[in-house]
Amino acid sequence: MKLKIWLKRKGWAFLLSVLIPIVIMAVVYLMMGIYPTSQRTVLASDALSQTSNFFASFNNTLHGKQSFFYTWYGSLGLNYWSFMAYYINGIFSFVVAFFDNQHIPDALYLILLLKFGVIGGTFWIMSDRLFKLPQIAKIMLSVSFALCGFSIAYSPQQMWLDGLIYLPLVILGIHYLMDDRKPALLFISYLLLFLSNFYMAFMVGVFSFLYVFCRFLTEPKRFKASLVPYLITSLLAGGASMVTILPTLLDLKNNGEGLTPIYSFLTRGMDIWDIPAKTMVGSYDTSKYGSAPFIYFGMLGLIFCLFYFTSRKIALKNKLIYGSLFLLLIASVYIEPMNLFWHGMHSPYMFLFRFSFLFSFLGLLLAGFGLEQVTKDDFNRLVNVVLGLIFLYVLISFVANRKRYEYLDQKTLLATLTVALLYVLLGVLIQKWPKRLVLIGCLFSFVFIGEQLINAQRIVKGIAGEWNYPDRRAYDDHFSDINTLIETTKNENTSLYRVGNVDATSRNESFIHGYSGVTMFSSIRNRHSSQYLDQLGFRSAGTNLTIQYENNTLIMDALLGIKYNLAKEDLRKYGYKAIKTAGDYTLYENQFAMPLGILTDKGIYKKNAVKNQTELMQYLSGDESNIFSFAEVETVKENNVKVEEQEGGVYYSRTANTNRELTYSIDVPERSQAYLSLYGKGTEVDIITKVNGIQRHGSLDSSGQYYDLGYYKEAKTVEVQVVFTGENVVQLVKPKAMFLNSDRFENMMKTIKKNGVSFETSGRTSEAEVELSKDQVVLTTIPFDKGWRAYIDGKRVEIPTFKDAFLALPVPKGKHTVKLVFLPEGFRIGLSLFISCILLFIVYNWWLRKKMKQQIYIQKEKEE
């Protein structure tokens, strides 16, 4: 009965708060040619290279194809629990279970729309309990938050939107606790927030703590008794969330980036007009470097927020307290240490000022409190606020740096001024014809929805211009071909093997198709293994956000267990044999691929041992033969390039506005795998090599340096055409040819293969049987992580670190069963805290309610 009454009185308002953002964004995407099953997708920016692939892997997990704790398909292997804590753990992630991996773009489209809607819904729930306003006003505030500048501009990173979903519930929970000593909503909201995305949870957690402090200062005597319950509730919610947070923090500590040094007090590249400029309708500059914070939260929200600070009805004390919170957020934009603090002292990689949604939320929250105080007598004050904004926007258009603010074009200014004046006009109509309130309300709604639609459309258009909403083929091009070949490999193997796609569709392709490879692009990664792999020839520079399989040698293919290659063109690698073709791709099998483990001795642990792939090969084989030889290359043709040799290397400058082309002549000795070494510096420089009609692509700053020229049984002189694209000047170490002697390589590999140890992997475990004539070390190519535990014949043993890169386990002589089991470090403690803190909160909540009832009873007795 109560539900029916609620649906009749308020349910329609809640539904509109959810549906309006969904419909507006669906219309905007439709205008861009994006809809379910459309050719164009929502996969802008990292949504294509990361989110879509990662959600495909989560789909595999939901269908039992991998463990929730560990994935063998994130590069060589990855802690999947902490990976999910950043990328996956959203409220609607389960939706992917209803889609196959080829249709993940449609799943993400649906999830994105649902998140926009639920943000509006949770803000309405907060508004309905905090604001004494007509439902139409609550709907407008809710839609304004759902479609704020941050939520749309940063929608390609949709895992961040969960923070916006829970923020209104956290603030409402704070009010419940401080006003009525009811902590349940705050506990649940905090817990779900922390479990969904630890990154956004940190920002919301800091903001909500500051909000509690500000609210306490408004009435210290009244709220003093609520501070201890708040701290207890927060600590218990934080403790319960440790089931996710603790393993993630430990993983970041062990494998994440270091803190960003502070080089300046002021944030570089900021301007005085940045904040007011981004409150204009449809203002989109960039989400790359050099952007201003996205703080737009609607013209109505801005007007009534300013009214809050200009109205005499609001206590000056409250204005100063909440105004200081606003000033702190503004200062965080301009002061670099404060800016870094909101980001966990880790400078963001593009998508700057990720805390700017807090500005929008606070603005709308205060707008709601301001709107409560509005009467007919305040009309002139509201008009003055609007006129002040109009003057400010016109002033910006005249005095601001045209180059920096070129995004504030005539359309942006015109749309902003038009919307502001229309709201004033509608206010005049309310004053003159109060009896036509329904009609004027409809006009208000029409203007409001038009404003939100224009703003969303312009921001989405800005995203499309900067990042592009890619065609579906960018995601699923050759999906069926690759999937068919990968399924073939799975049917033919029971133990773990690895695959390298020399013509990969994405740097995270392995997540979609479920194969273990090398290439990966992720903020959650095993840096120690990537750093060692970089020494072994797989490019993973800087902070190791990426690691690339491309342009390495046969040695690493063999030692890492790369049993298969996928390629569109003929793969001329020694030891590889074509076994199946599907569409444009052919599957090649590597006869020299090692299993997951290799027997060696304890000398492998020495600090300076096996620093590169040649030393590793020699050590494992016990053969000191030199497997590589080098030769100079002869340049026989140059086109549109000026070559200058200097002490620092060779510089290739463009002489016309076309690509630079060089042709090298190389004398390849017999029985050799030939490589061209190209290593140097250059921003966004791509290299195309063409030899014997086979063309390969690489990136100077992210691919390996050894461009494969093919295997030659007989000595031969080959010509290699090299094309440089990108910036005008490219600096390289002088190019050289490198030759791998196939006879020596094969002899070494025969020796190493005798020491191979096959591991059977399943979920988060890996197991092998060994029979040793002496004490030895089983060196695996499983990335080292403190979550691994090793057991020999069921007895747990310690795992010494091998360069903090791979698991290497000493095993005594005899016949043994070696078992490796992964559980994220800190998970057991986190799970214990999860259970105990929930139970403690239940007890605490019961005690608090009992105490409140006793106080009410005592108060009634006193009154009687």
User: How many C-beta atoms surround the C-beta of residue 531 within 10 A?
Assistant: 16
Mean pLDDT of 216-227: 94
H or E element that contains 720 = strand 716-724
Q: Could you tell me the strand order of the sheet in which 585-590 lies? A: 498-501, 562-567, 585-590, 576-582
pLDDT for position 839: 97
Is the backbone of residue 38 left (phi > 0), alpha (psi -120 to 50) or beta?
beta
What pLDDT does 256 receive?
67
Q: Are 405 and 396 in contact (CB under 8 A)?
A: yes
| pLDDT at 853 (0 to 100) | 80
Q: Is 336 helix (H, G, I), strand (E, B) or coil?
A: helix
CA nearest 109: which of 53, 153, 63, 155?
A: 155
pLDDT (0 to 100) of residue 303: 96
Burial of 424 (0-12, 13-18, 19+ CB in 10 A): middle
Task: Tell me the CA distances in angstroms from 511 to 66, 83, 492, one per residue in order.
Answer: 11, 12, 20
pLDDT digits (tens, 9 = 90+) for 715-746: 999 999 999 888 778 888 989 999 999 999 99
Strand order in the sheet with 672-677: 628-632, 736-741, 672-677, 706-712
Question: Is the pLDDT reported for residue 119 higher than 60?
Answer: yes
Give the pLDDT score at 1: 53
Length of the chain: 864
Q: Using the predicted structure, report yes or no on whether residue 66 has a pLDDT greater than 60.
A: yes
505-564, pLDDT tens digit by residue?
Answer: 899 999 999 999 999 999 899 999 999 999 999 999 888 889 999 999 999 999 999 999
- Res 863 pLDDT > 80: no
How far apart CA 458 and CA 428 sit, in angstroms, is 29
| Alpha helices, DSSP H, located in 280-335 | 299-310, 316-334
Q: How far is CA 66 from CA 91, 452, 497, 507, in A?
A: 21, 42, 15, 20
Q: Which of 16, 164, 115, 127 is nearest to 365 (CA)?
A: 127
The tokens describing 234, both together, are 């927060």
Give me the phi and psi of 547, to 5 degrees please: -140, 135
Which among 444, 401, 154, 420 is positioned nearest to 281, based on CA atoms? 420
| CA proximity to 326, closest of 367, 271, 284 | 367
Q: What is the mean pLDDT of residues 131-136?
A: 94
Q: What is the pLDDT of residue 246?
A: 96
Each residue of 660-699: b (16+ CB within 10 Å) or e?
A: bbbebebebeebbbbbbbbbbebeebbbbbebeebebebb
Cα distance between residue 670 and residue 488, in whole Å: 34
- Helix or strand run (H / E) with residue 776: strand 776-783
Give CA–CA dist 102/65, Å, rounded.
Answer: 16
- Predicted structure pTM score: 0.93
- For 647-666, what is each residue's pLDDT tens digit? 778 888 888 888 889 999 99
pLDDT of residue 683: 66
Out of 113-122, 200-209, 248-257, pick the least confident: 248-257
CA-closest candidate to residue 517, choices 544, 542, 495, 550: 550
pLDDT of residue 726: 81
Q: What pLDDT is recorded for position 243? A: 97
CB 698 within 8 A of CB 551: yes
Q: What is the identity of the amino acid at 181?
A: R
The 10s digit of each residue's pLDDT in 315-329 is 999 999 999 999 999
Mean pLDDT of 182-209: 96
Q: Which residue has the higher pLDDT, 366 or 659?
A: 366
In the structure encoding, which two tokens stand for residue 564, read together? Answer: 């298969």
Q: How far apart are CA 666 and CA 654, in angstroms?
A: 24
Interval 16-59: pLDDT, tens: 999 999 999 999 999 999 999 999 999 999 999 999 999 999 99
pLDDT of 494 reads: 85
Strands 562-567 and 498-501: parallel
Tell me how far apart the alpha carbons of residues 786 and 777 are, in angstroms, rounded to a whole number. 19
pLDDT confidence bin for 497, thresholds 50/70/90: very high
Q: State the Cα–Cα distance between residues 668 and 737, nearest whole angstrom.
A: 9
* pLDDT range class, residue 864, cuts 50, 70, 90: low
Average pLDDT over residues 164-181: 96
**What is the pLDDT confidence band of residue 419, given thresholds at 50, 70 and 90?**
very high
User: Could you tell me the pLDDT band of residue 255, with boundaries at 50, 70 and 90?
Assistant: confident
Residue 355 three-state SS: coil
Residue 217 has what pLDDT? 96
pLDDT at 39: 95
> Which of 470, 468, 482, 565 lies closest to 101 in space, CA to CA?
482
